[in-house]
Amino acid sequence: MMALQVPNPVDLPLFFMFFGLLAFLLLAFEVLARKTPVNGFFLRKILHLGLGFLLFFFPVLFTSNYYPVVLALIFLVVNAAGIRFRLLKVLGGENENNMRGESVMAGYGPVLLPLAFIILALFLWESHSWILSVSMLVAGVADALAALVGSSLGKVHIENLTKSRKTIEGSVTMFFSSLVLLGICFVLFREKFGEYLSSAGWLELFLLVLLLSLVATAVEALLSKGFDNLFIPVAISYLLFLVDSGTNGVLLRGFLLGGMFAFLLALFSVKVKFLNNSGATATFLLGTTIFGIGGVVWTVPLLTFYLLSSVLSKIGKKRKARFDLIFEKGSQRDAGQVIANGGIAWLIMIIYSLTGEPAYFFAYLGTLAAVQSDTWATEIGTMWPNPKARLITTMKLVPVGTSGGVSVPGTMGAFIGALLICASAIVLQVAWVLEYGMVQSFALIGFSGLLASLVDSFFGATVQAQYYDPVREKVTERTHSYKSDGTVVKNDLIKGHHYINNDVVNTLCALSGCMLAFVFSQSI
């Protein structure tokens, strides 16, 4: 339960001591950044590393979370002001160079790390303070080491991952640093484990450390601009909390099996070119949550969407080739597409894992039905021989593949795709679905998916960005085109808004399916 505890006067001397120490370190490193040739990126990462060690000891030294939260809040504000008004050079400006002189994006890490501590201290201090210590240590130390090694020694960049170029060397450092730190912490805090985790053997604990290290590495690799400083500790804390407390039936062995399956699925998806590197990384993180926490009941509907939609995107590839320059992205999905299609389902799984409310399962099926309907409508609509499409807002004929265009074959495909999502749950004999009624469930999920796909088409016709490609003289979703000599040409926006792309519209579609299924499942 989220709570700020009553301040204990005994902690006041510690508060002033740590305040003075952190203020001194920040000012000392600022002087070094301004007065010496030492690289600012290096200084900030060393400061980040030291902060990770300090935060590790806070739950051990302080008797309540009051003063640690206040301390973190003070430096959150100071760091935010230092970045916003460029008062602190050591925290980075709009852009800077790393240790090899390469330009890197300045991030929000100095603000997000104390924010992560505040959130986790409010939730975990009373019952799982050891998890708070572990997560902040990994976020502070392992992440800083990965950045230092990647920027100074990294030679092999990972393609199609993030705008901030990540290296194999940096990711390997992140993995092994996390592995060592988590392993040491598990030995130190074994006596503080909860009922479920304390009954695990050393092999299971090692496998858990291995999986958590992979999760931390994936988060660090996928996120840029300092957002990993927030999501690394939150991810580790969330997963450890579930397996330590056995919340809503989450058991260690099931979590380990789910994580292993997610990892193998990500590797398979890259091998068969369903996903690129960023898409595979996002799929591993999403799959670890849904497979490991939800078990078979939540896994099969997701796999139904993923496998059927991925295979369908590969069928009739030659016939669909003429639309490749219209669509923003190809059939090999990236992280943006994975999150747009599965991000809402991911959030629903997290909410369910903390609440145990069965109604969220219908919302989960609804969001999967929505994205499956949207995918199937596009794939079948473009594969169908001599298809005719009409703009959903005016019913005027438009070229097939146009954002907002609908067709009879595509609409039929959307409905069938949604029904298959429901069928996957019925085959599993999910008690919640059977209690609701088989026919009612098919109707609920089928029409939720279909209506959500029409919502997708509406947004595609009205607010989604569409551009004119002067090279090929076509309307497209792509912001840039290429001439035959490789020259990049910026396409002109002719409709919609720049920031509303296909991934945003797909997310709105997924959200619509979720809301429709959840609301109607409660009202009938």
pLDDT tens across 149-202, in order? 998 888 888 887 876 778 999 999 999 999 999 999 999 999 999 888 988 999
Is residue 103 predicted with pLDDT exceeding 70? no
Most confident of 247-251, 306-310, 454-458, 471-475: 454-458
Q: How far is 22 from 16, CA to CA, in rounded Å?
A: 10
Burial class (CB in 10 A: 0-12, 13-18, 19+), 282: buried
- Give the count of beta carbons closer than 10 Å to the beta carbon of residue 266: 24
Q: Sign of the CA dihedral 276, 277, 278, 280?
A: positive
Residue 159 has φ and ψ, to the nearest 5°, of -75, 155
C-beta of residue 400 within 8 angstroms of C-beta of residue 386: no
| pLDDT at position 94 | 46
- For 62, the token pair is 């302080």
The average pLDDT across 241-250 equals 85
Instruction: Kindly list the distances between the CA atom of residue 283 and the CA atoms of 76, 87, 153, 265, 320, in Å, as whole numbers in the listed order.
Output: 32, 39, 28, 8, 25
| pLDDT at position 111 | 95
Stronger pLDDT, 120 or 154, i.e. the higher one: 120
Q: Sign of the CA dihedral 35, 39, 42, 48?
A: positive
Give per-residue pLDDT as tens, 66-94. 999 999 999 999 999 998 888 888 887 54
Count CA within 13 A, CB hemisphere, residue 466.
18
Beta-sheet pairing, 474-476 with 466-469: antiparallel
Give per-residue pLDDT as tens, 310-341. 888 777 555 555 554 455 455 578 999 999 99
Q: How far is 111 from 81, CA to CA, in rounded Å?
A: 10
- 196: region left, alpha or beta (phi > 0 left; psi from -120 to 50 alpha): alpha
The average pLDDT across 229-236 equals 97
Give per-residue pLDDT as tens, 426-450. 999 999 999 999 999 999 999 999 9
Q: pLDDT band at 225, cuts 50/70/90?
A: confident
C-beta of residue 117 within 8 angstroms of C-beta of residue 71: no
Tokens 């090899």 appear where? 100
Residue 340's nearest CA partner among 370, 320, 366 is 370
Q: pLDDT band at 494, cuts 50/70/90?
A: confident
| pLDDT at position 350 | 94
C-beta of residue 120 within 8 angstroms of C-beta of residue 136: yes
Residue 305's identity, in one-letter code, is F
The average pLDDT across 369-376 equals 94
Q: How far is 229 from 112, CA to CA, in rounded Å?
A: 6
| pLDDT at position 320 | 56
Residues 6+ apart with CB under 8 A from 341: 305, 333, 371, 375, 506, 510
| pLDDT at position 104 | 58
Stronger pLDDT, 470 or 455, i.e. the higher one: 455
Residue 299's nearest CA partner among 357, 338, 254 is 254
| pLDDT at position 401 | 72
Q: How far is 208 from 244, CA to CA, in rounded Å?
A: 11
| pLDDT at position 384 | 79
| pLDDT at position 311 | 83
Is residue 503 predicted with pLDDT exceeding 50? yes
Residues 6+ apart with CB under 8 A from 379: 309, 312, 313, 315, 316, 320, 413
Segment holding 97, helix H or strand E: strand 95-97
- For 397, the token pair is 């004929």
What is the residue-averaged pLDDT of the chain?
89
Segment holding 496, helix H or strand E: none
What percent of the chain clears pLDDT 90, i.e. is strictly above it? 66
| pLDDT at position 92 | 72
Q: pLDDT band at 116, cuts 50/70/90?
A: very high
